[in-house]
Amino acid sequence: MNTAIKKAGTQRSIAYFISPHGFGHAARACAVMEALLQKDNSFHFHIYTTVPRWFFKESLPVKAFTYHRLKSDVGLVQSTPLDIDFPASLKQISGFLAFDSEKIRALAKELINQKSRLIICDISPLGIVAGDTAEIPRVLVENFTWDWIYEPYIEILSDFEKIIGRLRVIYSLVEHRIQTQPACRPLPDTTRCAPVSRRSKSNPDKIRRKLGIPPAAKMALISMGGIKVRYDFSRRLHDVDNVFFVIPQDTQKAQREKNLIILPHHSGFYHPDLVNAADVVIGKLGYSTVAEAWSFGVPFAYISRDNFRESAALENFVKDNLPNMRIDPVDFVRGKWINELIPLLDGKPPYIGKENGAIQCAVEIEKILSVESG
């Protein structure tokens, strides 16, 4: 496959609407945009989301995108990284999906004025509705959609059924669909791609040196997928010999406490670099963490999430493809997993390059652009 970068010509504009539910959708979108730019650096992306602008600056050249802070999705309201607030979720989703027709027309006009050739949504309903109004071709990139996620919640709050019906109508408006593995509900006649993740930018040894981790020590990364959290078990980690725990969390500046390296979420360390440098990742089952661990071949100690339907597909994928350990959410909070982690630290296999699904997505999007333009 020829991945040589073309010289910039006439700017090719694409609008990208990204769910702000965690950082997983934004990470996948960045990987796809990065792969498109590798094929043709004349692409310019208009990014619509409330995921912070710095997240995209870490992954993409600043000149390659324009950031539009806009509420593009709700997803679910979480009281903690592992717990869902169902009444708050229902209230916010219902309000969000009651789209103001005047605002939708104004957004559609904006997309037309940008000369956007394509609307890509991961997995934002707003982008689909605006793109349909603007009569601009729409692509849905997903491993699940919200209507499918919400189905079990009808038993908790019956009004979720109305939301599901509304979302099914919206998702039916897309003309092109790309499913990225591990897909929760594989659909026939749909383009499927390998797991999509951002590429690493730095050598793992360089990252470990910058973190101050001795060459002979092990590195464990605790990641909760972009949701700020503090860990009550942190002090217990001091008792683990020759293992340094790197923990992005809710703090203003980097801190070091013996073998704990605590980083603010916007730390200057690129998350895929941290995953690639780690001997094990500990975290909740989230798409981007799973995809990055798979890409770099890093063992994954994962926290099960029985109340989130995507978890089953992600868990099966991890079990089939990575050295792994399952952690019960209650055990995670209490730190009961710490001593059981040691065998997994020696389980990192030799790195084997894998084709990133982002490249496959980029190829398919180029085909869609050619068809729609022709």
CATH for 12-197+356-373, options being 3.40.50.2000, 3.40.50.1820, 3.20.20.70, 3.90.1150.10: 3.40.50.2000
Secondary structure class of 65 (helix, strand, coil): strand
pLDDT at 3: 36
Q: Which residues pair with 78 in a beta bridge?
A: 84
Q: Which two tokens stand for residue 52?
A: 């912070």
Instruction: Name the burial class of residue 94, with classes exposed (0-12), middle (13-18) and buried (19+) by CB atoms within 10 angstroms of its CB.
Output: middle
Return the number of other C-beta atoms located less than 10 Å from residue 33's C-beta: 27
Nearest 5°: the CA angle 333, 200, 177 is: 85
Closest CA to 48 of 126, 113, 102, 108: 126
Q: Is the pTM above the cut of 0.75?
A: yes
Nearest 5°: the CA angle 153, 159, 162 is: 100
pLDDT at 1: 33
What totals of helices (H) and strands (E) does the chain contain, helices first? 13, 16
Closest CA to 291 of 74, 64, 54, 29: 29
pLDDT at 249: 76
pLDDT at 271: 92
Distances (CA, A) of 32 to 50, 57, 76, 193, 372: 19, 15, 24, 11, 19
Asked if CATH classification 3.40.718.10 holds for the domain at 204-346, the reply, yes or no, is no
pLDDT at 5: 37
Q: How would you write the pLDDT of the chain (374 residues) with one tens digit per residue?
A: 333 334 444 779 999 999 999 899 999 999 999 999 999 999 999 999 999 999 999 999 999 999 999 999 999 998 877 789 999 999 999 999 999 999 999 999 999 999 999 999 999 999 999 999 999 999 999 999 999 999 999 999 999 999 999 999 999 999 999 999 999 999 988 999 999 999 999 999 999 999 999 999 999 999 876 555 667 788 889 889 999 999 887 677 888 889 999 888 777 889 999 999 999 999 988 899 999 999 999 999 999 877 889 999 999 999 999 999 999 988 988 888 998 898 898 878 776 667 899 999 999 999 999 887 76
Quickly list DSSP for 307-320.
TSTTHHHHHHHHHH
pLDDT at 230: 66
Secondary structure class of 252 (helix, strand, coil): coil
Report domain extents, the chain.
12-197+356-373, 204-346
